[in-house]
Structure 1
Amino acid sequence: MAVEPFDTVDLIRTKRSSGTLSTAEIDWLVDAYTRGYVGDEQMAALAMAIFLNGMERREIRDLTLAMIASGERMSFGSLGKTTVDKHSTGGVGDKITLPLAPLVATFGVAVPQLSGRGLGHTGGTLDKLESIPGWQAAISNERMTEILSDVGAVICAAGSGLAPADKKLYALRDITGTVECIPLIASSIMSKKIAEGTAALVLDVKFGSGAFMADFEQSKLLAQTMVDLGKDAGVATSALLTDMEVPLGLTIGNALEVRESVEVLAGGGPADVVSLTVSLAEEMLRLAGITDADPAAALADGRAMDTWRRMIEAQGGDAAATLPVAAETHVVTATESGVLATQEALPFGIAAWRLGAGRARAQDPVQAGAGIELHVRPGDAVTAGQPLWTLHTDEPDRFERALESLEGAWSIGDSAPDRGPIVRERIQ
């Protein structure tokens, strides 16, 4: 039996005492944890030490590269197209991937969008698309390449071979209170995205009530850390810092968000969803070397919708099918007249989750039709008795807890504060 070159307890003590780990130590640690030599209890102690004391840029880069090396790396070099991907840190009503991927592909760029499922209040792109009859999330790498060559865009589940060390560590962080840690978040996201093999990457990093990190400065630090990791790995990377103080668009929930995405692709849809979709498309195309494209025109004239239909049908979906509708609805009405002054994103995300749109555990099912329709936005005038939002679920006993989570999450007053532009800053 081979002698291990390092002692896990020594590494834990180093980070506990605010020291730095060498490249060799990090490489060994990730490999030893992946093969089971380093136990979960030891990795949990190390994750907490990193959470409390941080990591230097070189350590974060080494951790990211070691997690990439734990599995396979995809390559799209045979496509003959520039590849560009987008990653969002997640939010409430964030359905941007759905219209964005076909929109960018319309300009001859390949968009390999490996997406995930929802957990807690943040919705999952794959759950949303699975509300389309027949659509399949799991496809082979060969089929993925075929669709990228033919259609230009694919949204699918990541294979288990990409960064398996991250998958193991992520599950551990989830149950040990070490999720909100910039070195661990950045290395987790970027290890998967770099292993995916895309040439360019745009990060949509949220801040505000419904964001993974509510604080603007912390979100900015996370964005900068990820942009640096991308550049270190040779991937053209930039980030947009975007507002998630209020829900994005007018729908929260799987089939509801697909319907709204189709409205955007048809040249309509809520202004904030259209604005963010176009901004991210412009940034993705810029990184891909295309500076004369007009994404807004491609939404207006139907080109992006044509690509969407082909993309959905390539994965077995019926783009013309009627989307699922929840069996029960409950309408919340205004208690007084005035202006909708505030609307916090997080409680609305939790309410949609409690209605059945999300899951508490990875193995839980989701309801395709569950969620919330928003009839007004902050700044809109309302009259007493007017519908504010409609709650959707298949199980009416879910309404009570969903309504509890909305208590105090919105207010009616004389005016609403100016929130400024949805894209607050660009980091490159």
Structure 2
Amino acid sequence: MMLTQEKTLAETVRQDFPILHQEINGQPLVYLDNAATSQKPLAVLNAIQDYYQKYNSNVHRGVHALSAKATDTYEAARVKVAQFINAKSYQEIVYTRNASEAINLVAYSWGLNTLKAGDEIILSVMEHHSNLVPWQMVAQKTGAVIKFVELTETQEFDLEQFKTLLSEQTKLVSLVHISNTLGCINPIEEITQIAHEYGAKVLIDACQSAPHTPLDVQKIDCDWLVASGHKMCAPTGIGFLYGKLEVLEAMPPFFGGGEMIDEVFLDHFTVGALPHKFEAGTPAIGEAIALGAAIDYLMSIGMDKIAAYEHELTAYLYERLREIPELKLYGPLPNANGEGRAALASFSVEGIHANDLSTMLDDGGVAIRSGHHCTQPLHRYLGVNATARASLYFYNTKAEIDVFIVALKDAIAFFKQMMN
């Protein structure tokens, strides 16, 4: 009797992603830019099409059948988001265009109305610009001071230095969960616990963790958490802000207009209930519904299963990368099982610009990212102007990693020959 080998997760799901089955420059597409954005399964594509074809209507404003169905489906997606991150209530989930808008919402609603001169904000040198620039703007307006956690020798979050930065003046700690450049996984539960001992609020940027690993905001105990739908199989233009109910209730509205009101008079208005007081105007209805479909899809696979498979991919990716002595890798190395870091690798090659490597790989159908990955301060800290980055998701395969490695070796050999 012949034993059939069990399919990998990628082999099981790749049929769900039409975009992956094409050629680029005459070669099969190998998409390794998932930290920038993920591809979308048919379930998500169909959810958007169904909304526009079958029940397109504005939400919360009509009593006719289309509006009722749109509203029900739109709000059901909010419940799915709450369940996905284990929030206590759907009222703790605010739809935003993306994680950047979610952070700005907190910065302008809470930050500008709470922080004052001398108050301290703690960030890290690895933050995405979206978790840096809004706080710089708030600091300029309020006189608050920003402090930065640096890196350990293994290019991870320096927890011991973080402890020395905290004081009674610390009002906010806002940190990335997983670095989109270093791939390090920050100890956010411990960070949150320590910050709360000083009375500080904590915001977590979960853009690189929500698509890849289970999240439990009650266990983390953060005050806010943000994520973008497009990195977790949903469309662009939709993200969310999680906030503890009591924290959101204390925050004033950020945008004014329709939907966020209770009553409006010529000389004043009253705000609506959570979460709608932060959602002015017609929202991204189809995108929110598709976010719900994306969460259904991810949960049908299982976030634990996704994480486990990505550990396997990470171990194999780094095993193959070690074959290339010219590479300088950034961030901590994974353990033998691929655990301890995200399923991405940022690297540089002396004398070869990351953009040139990326362009050469694209000629062979391999899509990777090059540049500063919206972490310019981190790149300056590391002493490199740009890195190349290969980032994986659960639909990638070891065979694709092999193609990437061959293409990378060929590209390095080509440029070294050109330099000689």
TM-score bracket for the superposition, by shorter chain length: under 0.3
Superposition TM-score, scaled by structure 2 size: 0.28
Task: Please report the TM-score for the alignment, with normalisation by the length of structure 1.
Answer: 0.27
